[in-house]
């Protein structure tokens, strides 16, 4: 008798859940969508900042001035073919191509200087 | 005997204690900020932050352009030439070794720039009119991180030059062999 009562209760609760879902299906759909999108956005933001992509993203606010100064590949620097013969001309051509890159690297002392020094920032230390 | 042991223990403990205090003092002096500087930071908070924002933008541009150049050197030139040397049955171990070191240094450069950028961004987010000391200390930290990025650039450039000298050596050493083959 107890078993039958339990089964009846379970059935009632199932019917209750189903009827609740049917009654509020639109609200449940909206809530679930918001929760899922919230989770996905969080995962994306985590990957965006964690992978270092954020540091390369110059479309962020505050980078408008420098955005158009990105060096665009104009085809001058092509993929060096890994197949083909090896002779004086090949080595000379490669040396010329490589020299172009070396000149590019030498051109600016990247991250050199000391722009974060108190002097550069105008926070000049003086003795009291 | 027991007393001398206790004395030695007390002496060594006091040396450690005094040494610790001196170390703390020394590190505090490194980031020492005067009252005058605190006032300067408070007064020029907005302009200092503008300088930092400009630096962050120009450094980001530098990171993108320089990163692109190094990436191209590795993928477009080094990899291609290394394979070509190998495909023609010449020893490319020196080239491969430098390329491997170069790629490792490139990864270090990427991560050290990321740390620097995050540091600088957090400095910009500090309210320097309310917390000038915290702001100053964070600037000192960001300065150190930027110097590390510069050190990575120097290492990468060294590998670029090393590859070039290996190339010259290859040309010199293998010229007779190349001419013999072709």
DSSP code for B126: S
User: Smallest CA–CA separation between B97 and chain A, in Å?
Assistant: 17
Structure confidence at residue B24 as a pLDDT band (50, 70, 90): very low
User: Smallest CA–CA separation between A107 and chain B, in Å?
Assistant: 11
Q: Which of B66, B140, B161 to mutate to test the interface with A (most CBs of A within 10 A)?
A: B66
- Please compute the mean of the pLDDT values over residues B145-152 and round it to a whole number: 97
| Contact in structure between A116 and B139 (CB atoms under 8 Å) | yes
Residue B65: per-residue pLDDT: 93
Structure confidence at residue B80 as a pLDDT band (50, 70, 90): very high
| Contact in structure between B19 and B80 (CB atoms under 8 Å) | no
Q: Phi/psi class of residue B127: alpha, beta or left (left: φ > 0; alpha: ψ in -120 to 50)?
A: beta
Counting one residue from chain A and one from chain B, the pairs whose CB atoms sit within 8 A come to 165
- The partner residue sitting opposite B40, judged by closest CB among A66, A123, A127, is A123
Q: If you measure CA to CA, which chain A residue comes closest to B32?
A: A125
Query: Above 70 in pLDDT, residue B29?
Result: no
User: Smallest CA–CA separation between B20 and chain A, in Å?
Assistant: 26
Chain B contacts in chain A segment 78-117 (CB below 8 A) = 78-88, 90-91, 94-95, 97-99, 101-102, 104-106, 108-112, 114-117
Structure confidence at residue A128 as a pLDDT band (50, 70, 90): very low
Q: What is the mean pLDDT of chain B?
A: 86
Contact list, B52 vs chain A (CB under 8 Å): 121
Check CB contact of B40 with chain A, cutoff 8 Å. Answer: yes
Structure confidence at residue B23 as a pLDDT band (50, 70, 90): very low
Are residues A122 and B146, on separate chains, in Cβ contact within 8 Å?
no
Residue B31: per-residue pLDDT: 64
In percent, how much of chain B has pLDDT > 70?
A: 79
Query: Above 90 in pLDDT, residue A37?
Result: yes
Residue A8: per-residue pLDDT: 74
Distance CA B63, CA B74 (A): 16
- Please compute the mean of the pLDDT values over residues A88-116 and round it to a whole number: 92
Are residues A79 and B75, on separate chains, in Cβ contact within 8 Å?
yes
Contact list, A79 vs chain B (CB under 8 Å): 75-76, 80
In percent, how much of chain A has pLDDT > 90?
A: 41
Residue B18: per-residue pLDDT: 56
Are residues B40 and A124, on separate chains, in Cβ contact within 8 Å?
yes
- The partner residue sitting opposite B61, judged by closest CB among A70, A79, A114, is A70
Contact list, B113 vs chain A (CB under 8 Å): 52, 55
Contact list, A108 vs chain B (CB under 8 Å): 62
Check CB contact of B65 with chain A, cutoff 8 Å. Answer: yes
A56-65, B123-132, B171-180: the lowest-pLDDT one: B171-180
Distance CA A91, CA B181 (A): 15
| Contact in structure between A90 and A84 (CB atoms under 8 Å) | yes
Are residues A101 and B179, on separate chains, in Cβ contact within 8 Å?
no
**Distance from CA of residue A23 to its chain's centroid?**
41
DSSP code for B78: I
- Please compute the mean of the pLDDT values over residues A88-113 and round it to a whole number: 91
Structure confidence at residue A111 as a pLDDT band (50, 70, 90): very high
For A106-122, give one letter per residue: b (16+ CB within 10 A) or e.
eeeebbeeebbebeebe
Check CB contact of B87 with chain A, cutoff 8 Å. Answer: yes
Query: Above 90 in pLDDT, residue B3?
Result: no
Residue A57: per-residue pLDDT: 87
- Please compute the mean of the pLDDT values over residues B32-44 and round it to a whole number: 88
- Please compute the mean of the pLDDT values over residues B132-156 and round it to a whole number: 96
Distance CA B52, CA B123 (A): 8
pLDDT (tens digit per residue) in A10-32: 777 788 888 888 889 999 999 99
A28-42, A50-64, B20-34, B76-90: the lowest-pLDDT one: B20-34
pLDDT (tens digit per residue) in B112-141: 999 999 999 999 999 999 999 999 999 999
Contact list, B171 vs chain A (CB under 8 Å): 91, 95
């Amino acid at each position: 008798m107890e078993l039958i009562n339990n089964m009846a209760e379970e059935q009632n609760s199932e019917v209750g859940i189903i009827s609740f879902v049917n009654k509020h299906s639109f609200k449940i759909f909206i809530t679930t969508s918001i929760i899922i999108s919230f989770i996905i956005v969080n995962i994306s933001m985590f990957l965006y900042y964690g992978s270092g992509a954020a540091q390369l993203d110059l479309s962020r606010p505050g980078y408008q001035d420098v955005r158009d100064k990105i060096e665009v590949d104009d085809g001058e620097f092509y993929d060096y073919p890994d197949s083909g013969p090896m002779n004086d001309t090949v080595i000379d051509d490669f040396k010329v191509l490589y020299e172009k890159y070396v000149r590019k690297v030498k051109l600016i002392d990247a991250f050199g200087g000391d722009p974060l020094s108190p002097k550069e920032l105008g926070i000049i230390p003086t003795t009291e | 005997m027991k007393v001398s042991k206790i004395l030695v223990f007390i002496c060594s403990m006091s040396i450690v204690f005094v040494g610790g205090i001196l170390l703390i003092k020394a590190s505090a002096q490194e980031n020492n900020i005067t009252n005058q500087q605190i006032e300067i930071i408070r007064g020029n908070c907005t302009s200092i932050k503008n300088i930092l924002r400009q630096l962050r933008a120009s450094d980001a541009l530098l990171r993108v352009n320089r990163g692109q150049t190094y990436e191209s050197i590795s993928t477009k030139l080094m990899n291609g030439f290394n394979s070509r040397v190998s495909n023609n049955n010449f020893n490319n171990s020196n080239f491969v070794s430098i390329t491997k070191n170069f790629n490792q240094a490139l990864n270090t450069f990427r991560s050290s720039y990321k740390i620097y950028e995050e540091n600088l961004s957090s400095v910009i987010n500090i309210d320097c009119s309310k917390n000038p000391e915290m702001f100053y200390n964070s600037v000192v930290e960001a300065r150190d991180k930027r110097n590390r990025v510069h050190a990575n650039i120097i290492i990468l450039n060294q590998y670029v030059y090393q590859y070039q000298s290996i190339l010259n050596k290859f040309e010199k050493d293998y010229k007779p062999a190349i001419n013999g083959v072709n």
